[in-house]
Amino acid sequence: MIRVSWFFLWGLLVGSWNAQAQPAARPRAVVGIMVDQMRMEYLSRFESKLGEHGFKRLMREGFTLRNAHYNYMPTVTGPGHASVYTGTTPAVHGIIGNEFFDKVSKKMVNCVEDPAHKPIGSEGGNGDVSPWRLLSTTITDELKLFTQKRAKVISMSIKDRGAVLPGGHMADAAYWYDSKTGRFITSTYYMNQLPTWVDQFNKQNKADAYLNQPWTTTFPPDQYVESGPDASPYERKFSGKPVSAFPYNLKEMRAKNGNFDLLVYTPFSNDYLTEFATKAITEEKLGADEITDFLCLSYSTPDILGHAVGPNAVEIEDMYIKLDKNIEQLLTTLDKTVGVGNYTVFLTADHAVADVPQYLKDQRIPAGTLNAENLKVRLADFLAAHYPGKKLIENISNEQIFLNHQAFSDEPRKAGVDLLIVKELIGQFLMDTEGVHTYFTESQLRQSDFAEGGIKGSVVRGFHHKRSGDLAVVLEPGWFASGWVQGTTHGAPWTYDTHVPILWFGKGIPSGSSVRYYAITDIAPTLSMLLGIKLPNGCSGQPIEELFQK
């Protein structure tokens, strides 16, 4: 007869429980990829032109969220990058626009502008920046805190804000493109001189080489049936080029189009950033040990070109075909250096984009433009009839109206009454203005719940009560606060600007897809659960449960 010790059985039971309870080993590296101005529909519209090892690999082997949205307005770059990495919205993290009116200095400020710092790598470059205006921690900050700063966080983009905000407050380095020199630079917030490998990379003058070659289509032009005609009246033209159509002789064009600035309108900018990213992976030894490192990568050119030509242009389709190869190159590098199955990737966008308004109008779809400066003049004239001699409007920007509080009475009670009256008058004016959908006052938004649904909820979550204006304005679908006859923009709470892809891939990620609604703020808490680290301190999103279901 075989006797089995109860201690032995208990040990087996506890061992089995521990094996199930212990979290899976963390990935050696996390790579966050932001594609500026990417619509979810591009993945299906351009599907036949994409290869098998870029976007399709992410979707085939990973998990695709097909119904992911931004849950606030304004849907623009700075707030988008901040929201993905903080897991919350402008109401909490404070980045309410790319540029916004500062109530203290009484001027427009860039969301990463910081006069306390200077550029490193280019004396006249846009390097006086830092993340100091970001009011909450990022997932990258939390990783640094969790690992006692042993994790390495490197962030890079063509745009400064696309690099600075994802890297958070504790990044080891953030780099962005300097259009004066064609090189990658940083600021004194991060370091006092560029690392040797960055210097050596810059000295290769790759931007110059890229601009000395033509941009031609990947496939014969007549095969781009997923887009509109190549020569389109809805696209802005480059200086010296009478029509916006292929091919683009960049060597001839660069002198009349800002020289190195021209690069950011071409897919070679994405090539350049990808080369820089792969160099960073190897030189910084990202993912080389058991301590998770984080690479933040933001492709800005799809947005820069998208503003100029709109989402229906052959140029945009060809850019995504070429970007697909960049994604493949990045994954191949990670496979070789970090190892297949040792890293986790997420890919998303900071916002989507609207169709060119003039194009919509020509197709008999309701659309239009509302000139902000013209609106300011008309509104001032309207208020002057009720409050003659007083300048009541201080600023109109980001679909918000800032009142000049100094213009009201010194007597608190009368000033308060006048302020309420002025807001009501402005509301009447706005609702009589073509293209305005609705408006909300600051007090209405302050009394609303953060979880409010619908359009009002989007405004609530995008409204920071210390930094935002006295009224928030929402335009009708298809309407924009500027004159876009050629090219387009974004920023609205409507689905054409909110609907973006979220692709998950790699270690800890099952294969599959979902059409369930998810907010962009769910990315950071999902990463917190995957890494077993603290949530960003202002986080309002929730982990994506479907990624954790066995």
Are residues 283 and 404 both part of a single domain? no
Q: Is residue 45 predicted with pLDDT exceeding 90?
A: yes
Are residues 57 and 203 both part of a single domain? yes
Mean pLDDT of 37-64: 98
Mean pLDDT of 240-257: 95
Are residues 424 and 324 both part of a single domain? no
Q: How far apart are CA 78 and CA 83, in angstroms?
A: 9
CA 124 to chain centroid, in Å, comes to 26
Are residues 168 and 252 both part of a single domain? yes
300 pLDDT band (50/70/90 cuts)?
very high
User: What is the number of helices (H) and of strands (E) in the chain?
Assistant: 20, 19
Q: Is residue 16 predicted with pLDDT exceeding 80?
A: no
The string of pLDDT tens digits covering residues 337-383 is 999 999 999 999 999 999 999 999 999 999 999 887 888 889 999 99
Residue 357: inside a domain, yes or no?
A: no
Residue 397: inside a domain, yes or no?
A: yes
Are residues 305 and 426 both part of a single domain? no
Are residues 329 and 459 both part of a single domain? no
Residue 248: inside a domain, yes or no?
A: yes
Q: Is residue 2 predicted with pLDDT exceeding 50?
A: no
Residue 328: inside a domain, yes or no?
A: yes
Residues tagged active-site:
77
The string of pLDDT tens digits covering residues 402-433 is 999 988 877 777 778 888 999 999 999 999 99
The string of pLDDT tens digits covering residues 182-212 is 999 999 999 999 999 999 999 999 999 999 9
| 402: enclosing H helix or E strand | strand 400-403
**DSSP letters for 200-269:** HHHTT-HHHHHTTS-B--SS-GGG-TTS--SS-TTSPPPTT-SSS-S-B-HHHHGGGTTGGGGGGGSTHH
pLDDT at 24: 61
pLDDT at 232: 94
Residue 347: inside a domain, yes or no?
A: yes
Burial class of residue 245, CB neighbours in 10 A (0-12, 13-18, 19+): middle
pLDDT at 6: 43
Q: How far apart are CA 3 and CA 6, in angstroms?
A: 9
Q: How far apart are CA 184 and CA 404, in angstroms?
A: 41
Burial class of residue 101, CB neighbours in 10 A (0-12, 13-18, 19+): buried
Are residues 335 and 383 both part of a single domain? no
Residue 10: inside a domain, yes or no?
A: no
Mean pLDDT of 431-460: 96
**What tokens were used for 416?**
């308060």
pLDDT at 414: 76
Residue 21: inside a domain, yes or no?
A: no
Residue 490: C-alpha distances to residues 75, 196, 441 (Å): 7, 39, 23
Q: Which domain holds residue 139?
A: 29-85+118-352+492-505
Are residues 177 and 230 both part of a single domain? yes
Say what percent of the chain tops pLDDT 70.
95
CATH number where 382 lies: 3.30.1360.150
Q: Is residue 18 predicted with pLDDT exceeding 80?
A: no
Mean pLDDT of 153-178: 98
Mean pLDDT of 267-291: 98
Residue 1: inside a domain, yes or no?
A: no
pLDDT at 549: 86
pLDDT at 375: 86
Mean pLDDT score of the chain:
93
Q: How many domains does the chain have?
A: 2
Mean pLDDT of 456-472: 98
Answer left, alpha or beta for residue 479, where phi above 0 means left and psi between -120 and 50 means alpha.
beta
Are residues 152 and 78 both part of a single domain? yes
pLDDT at 342: 98
Are residues 273 and 389 both part of a single domain? no
pLDDT at 484: 63
Are residues 376 and 336 both part of a single domain? no
**What tokens were used for 126?**
């846009």
The string of pLDDT tens digits covering residues 485-524 is 789 999 999 999 999 999 999 999 999 999 999 999 999 9
Say what percent of the chain tops pLDDT 90.
89
CATH number where 65 lies: 3.40.720.10
Are residues 51 and 125 both part of a single domain? yes
